[in-house]
C-alpha cells in the first residue's frame, strides 16, 4: 500500500517530483499523499487491489506523524476481522522519516529508535506470541540509507533485540533525504515544496543500497530477512541485491517511470541471468557475494571484451545486411526502369527525336 497516515492527506503542492534527464536519479517531496489507514485496511479495497494477482503479498506501510499515530494504526490492524487481517501479508513501519519536529530522522537517532521500538513491542508483542489467538501479519521496519557502517551496526544491534518477538524483516533503503535538484536555466529548484529539498531515489542510489543490504546481512540475526530497495531497473540489479543478502527486492522509481510492465521485464531478465550462469533457482545466489580476486577480475575483463567484440561484429553484420539490401533495391529499381522504358518504346509512348 501507499505509506499510510491515520487520516487521508493530499501531500505537498506541485511540482513535487523531478526526474533527471540523464535517468540517473529522481527526486520527490510528496508529503505522504494517501487515502488514510482505514482505506488500506478495508477488505473490499484489498480485494480490488489484489484481484489481478491473488498470489502477490499485500503489505501495509505505516508512516504516522507521531509514535501515537503509528500505535493507533497498529491497533486498528489488530481489531480487523480475521478474514481481512489474513489478507495482509506484512506490516512495514516506516522509520526513515522524521517523527518529532526538531529531531533527526528517527532511525538516525539511536535513543529515538530504542524508545519507539520498545513502545511498539510493549503494545504488540502479545499479539506476536505463538500462543496468541490474533494471527498478525509479519512485522518489519523501513530504514534510511546509512553511509557510516558503525552507525548501521548500532541500528542492527537494536533491531536484533526484537528478533523472534516482533521484527521479521527490514526494508533497506529509503530515499537519500535533503537532496536539492536545481534548474540552472531559471536559477531555482525543480521542486516547489520544502524549499526544493527532496528525497533522492533511482539509479544513483543502487551501490549504496547494495552496501547497506550486505552490511545488514552480516550484522542482523539470520532469521531477520532483508528487502533490498534502491535503483533497481534491470535483472542485473536484482542479482546484485540478492548476492548482497536480500531475500526480496522492491522496485520503486523504475515503476514510476515505466509502469507495471517493468516487473515482468525485470523478472524475465533475472531468469535469463540465472540460466546463463548455470543456476536453477535465485536462492542459489542468495548471500553468495564472492570476495574480490585477481582471477575473477581478469575473467570479468575478458568477458566484457568478448561481449563488446560480439556486439561490434553484430553491428558490422547488420550494417552489411543493410548495405546489401540497399544495393539490391538499387538493382531492382534500375531493372524496373529499363522494363518501363522498353514497354514505353514498344507502345510508341517515348518522344521521338
Lookup: cell for 256: 514510476
Output the tens digit of pLDDT for each of the chain's 353 residues: 889 999 999 999 999 999 999 999 999 999 999 999 999 999 999 999 888 877 889 999 999 989 999 999 999 999 999 999 999 999 999 999 764 556 688 999 999 999 999 999 999 999 999 889 899 999 999 999 999 999 999 999 999 999 999 999 999 999 999 999 999 999 999 999 999 999 999 999 999 999 999 999 999 999 999 999 999 999 999 999 999 999 999 999 999 889 999 999 999 999 999 999 999 999 999 999 999 999 999 999 999 998 888 888 776 555 565 666 667 677 677 677 767 667 666 666 555 54
Lookup: cell for 115: 524508545
Per-residue 3-state assignment (H helix, E strand, C coil) for 240-308 = HHHHHCCCEEECCHHHHHHCCHHHHHHHHHHHHHHHHCCCCCHHHCCCCCCCCCHHHHHHHHHHHHHHH
The pTM score is 0.86
pLDDT of residue 324: 66
Q: What's the pLDDT tens digit per position in 175-197? A: 999 999 999 999 999 999 999 99
The answer to whether the beta carbons of residues 135 and 85 sit under 8 Å apart is: yes
Gap between the Cα atoms of 142 and 139, Å rounded: 10
**Active-site hit among 97, 210, 262, 344:** 97
Pick from 57, 59, 47: which is nearest to 1 by CA?
Answer: 59
pLDDT of residue 335: 77
Q: What's the pLDDT tens digit per position in 230-253? A: 999 999 999 999 999 999 999 999
How many CB atoms lie under 10 A from the CB of residue 263?
A: 15
| Residue 97 is among the residues annotated as catalytic for this protein | yes
Amino acid at each position: 500500500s501507499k505509506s499510510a497516515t491515520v487520516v487521508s492527506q493530499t501531500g505537498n503542492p506541485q511540482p513535487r517530483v523531478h526526474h533527471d534527464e540523464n535517468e540517473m536519479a529522481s527526486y520527490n517531496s510528496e508529503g505522504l499523499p494517501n487515502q488514510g489507514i482505514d482505506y488500506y485496511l478495508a477488505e473490499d479495497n484489498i480485494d480490488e487491489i489484489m484481484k489481478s494477482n491473488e498470489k502477490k503479498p499485500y503489505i501495509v506501510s505505516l508512516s504516522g506523524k507521531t509514535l501515537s499515530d503509528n500505535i493507533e494504526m497498529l491497533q486498528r490492524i489488530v481489531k480487523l476481522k480475521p478474514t481481512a487481517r489474513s489478507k495482509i501479508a506484512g506490516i512495514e513501519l516506516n522509520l526513515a522519516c522524521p517523527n518529532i519536529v526538531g529531531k533527526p530522522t528517527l532511525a538516525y537517532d539511536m535513543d529515538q529508535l530504542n524508545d519507539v521500538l520498545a513502545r511498539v513491542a510493549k503494545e504488540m508483542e502479545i499479539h506476536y506470541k505463538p500462543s496468541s489467538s490474533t494471527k498478525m501479519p509479519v512485522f518489519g521496519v523501513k530504514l534510511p540509507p546509512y553511509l557510516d557502517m558503525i552507525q548501521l551496526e548500532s541500528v542492527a544491534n537494536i533491531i536484533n533485540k526484537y528478533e523472534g518477538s516482533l521484527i521479521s524483516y527490514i526494508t533497506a533503503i529509503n530515499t537519500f533525504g535533503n537532496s536539492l535538484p536545481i534548474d540552472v536555466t531559471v536559477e531555482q529548484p525543480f521542486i516547489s515544496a520544502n524549499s526544493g529539498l527532496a528525497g533522492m531515489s533511482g539509479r544513483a542510489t543502487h551501490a549504496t543500497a547494495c552496501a547497506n543490504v550486505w552490511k545488514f546481512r552480516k550484522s542482523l540475526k539470520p532469521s531477520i530477512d532483508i528487502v533490498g530497495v534502491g535503483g533497481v531497473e534491470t535483472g542485473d540489479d536484482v542479482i546484485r541485491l540478492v548476492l548482497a543478502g536480500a531475500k526480496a527486492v522492491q522496485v520503486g522509481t523504475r515503476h514510476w517511470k515505466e509502469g507495471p510492465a517493468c516487473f515482468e521485464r525485470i523478472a524475465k531478465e533475472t531468469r535469463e541471468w540465472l540460466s546463463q550462469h548455470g543456476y536453477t533457482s535465485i536462492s542459489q545466489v542468495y548471500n553468495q557475494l564472492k570476495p574480490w580476486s585477481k582471477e575473477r577480475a581478469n575473467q570479468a575483463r575478458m568477458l566484457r571484451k568478448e561481449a563488446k567484440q560480439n556486439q561490434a561484429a553484430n553491428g558490422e553484420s547488420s550494417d552489411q545486411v543493410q548495405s546489401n539490401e540497399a544495393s539490391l533495391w538499387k538493382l531492382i529499381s534500375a531493372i524496373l526502369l529499363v522494363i518501363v522504358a522498353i514497354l514505353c518504346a514498344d507502345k510508341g509512348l517515348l518522344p521521338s527525336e
